[in-house]
Amino acid sequence: MTTPVSCPVLLIAAPASGQGKTTVTAALAHLLHSRGKRVKVFKCGPDFLDPTWLALASGQCVDNLDLAMCGKADIQRRLARATRSNDVVLIEGVMGLYDGARSAADMAALWNLPILLVIDASAMAETFGALAFGLAKYRPGLRIAGALANRVASERHARMLSASMPDDLPLLGQVMRQQGMEKAPIPSRHLGLVAADELEDGHDRIAQVAQSLAQSALGQLEWNEWQTRWGVSIDAPDEAHHARPLLQGRRIAVARDAAFRFIYPANIAFLQEQGASVHYFSPLAGDALPECDALWLPGGYPELHAAALAEQRRLASQIDAHWKANQPIWAECGGMIALMQELRWPAKNLRAPLLGVVSGVVTQHERLRGLGMQAWQTPWGLLRGHGFHYSSCETDMPVTGHTRRLLDERSVDEGSQLECIHAEGSLRMSYFHAWFASNPEAAAALFLR
């Protein structure tokens, strides 16, 4: 164990989804970063889109924290590193504070993390205080920093909210309703928020909210008060070392563009820590497959770019040749979709070709077809991760296994069958999104012959 360092930490939570957690977390990160602070932000739960806004605001990549997918030791290691090398750590919660078998409250309790309650006040007045009181008192022992009102209509509205608060629960300020924007400054679509780099004014949107936050009590708090009120010390667990990196010398090609954007920075870091060199390429830009020992096609939005993908005949031939040469391919969710022959989207009356490397048809639906924490039982043990998709896939490729519902970091529901694991030769593909660090041997095997 290394000697822990005290660092201000805030876990930003809410009574439900849609309250503005991402917007407030990004605005706070932007505000602190603009004042010269080194800000590290994490996102609770599996998520590829919220972190794009948090990274834009903080200037650093954003890792995910989930007690089942990542595991306690992995989270503790990442938090300890972050508190040692940053001025402040912010953690955006997931859903409501107490929602889920492994809630944001559970994580806060494990490391005594201060919790900032963000509540959408747009449709209430005095009830704000009652809701804040209930969240703060529901589970004794949590370290509640205070509450922040989001989408406040006026100064008079702000005074009503402040007057409703219990004496022992501070209102740390408010974010005013943003003029000239829709209800949420960050727009959404299927699968979640629109990514930050898809909007030309993404930075300006966050800066506008940060300007409002700067006028609040939280925004005007002296820096020494941050350390006094919300300092956290976290021991770093001993690092696990392999005698030799599992992917030493391997060249791994990774598709990365608007169609293949669902990539955990922690997974890239894992590949590099295991000795691999990562070589990005853009299928949408017409890039050729880089010279490589293994190929990773991550998730994303291939359904929004089917026409452009269908034009990449050279790349399709190169991927097929890579496969026939028995070189590893891991196609994950959107990566699997892109390999199929055809996309069908009934709601849009659309039928479109895809890369066509694998015989199969993808159908896009208007409702979720897969959602939840899960794990794949490999010869090396459980590889943990999650699933989240609106499409279904019909293919003749053999099914060699299924993921199971993840109960905690060590066990699954053996009676469940979630996502198919398809495999033929050196190609493996699934709707399953893997968290590589959860099982280094199993993750490395995806890129080894």
Q: Would you name the residues annotated as active-site residues?
A: 333
Tokens of 176: 């005013």
DSSP states along 30-71 = HHHHHTT--EEEEEESS-SSHHHHHHHHHSS--EEE-TTTT-
Distance between CA atoms of 18 and 187, rounded to whole angstroms? 11
> What is the β-pairing status of strands 88-92 and 39-44?
parallel
Instruction: Report the alpha-carbon distance of residue 344 to residue 346 in Å, rounded.
Output: 6
| Residues 186 and 44: beta-carbon distance below 8 Å | no
Q: Which helix (H) or strand (E) holds 128?
A: helix 127-137
Q: Which residue is listed with tokens 């055809």?
A: 342
Tokens in use for 129? 């205080």
How are beta strands 391-395 and 360-364 bridged, if at all? antiparallel
Query: Max Cα separation, the chain?
Result: 70
Contact, 193 vs 50, CB < 8 A?
Answer: yes
Tally of CA atoms within 13 A in the half-sphere of 392 that contains its CB: 8
| DSSP character string of 209-228 | HHHHHHTSTTTT--HHHHHH
The tokens of 320 are what? Answer: 């097929």
- Can you read off the two tokens belonging to residue 58? 């903080």
Residue reference for tokens 């501070």: 170
150 and 188 Cβ atoms separated by less than 8 Å: no
Half-sphere exposure of 181 (CA within 13 A, CB side): 18
* Burial category of 1 from C-beta neighbours within 10 Å (exposed 0-12, middle 13-18, buried 19 and up): exposed
The position carrying tokens 């002296």 is 222
Token pair listed for 28: 């706070």
Per the CB < 8 A criterion, the answer to whether 82 and 232 are in contact is no
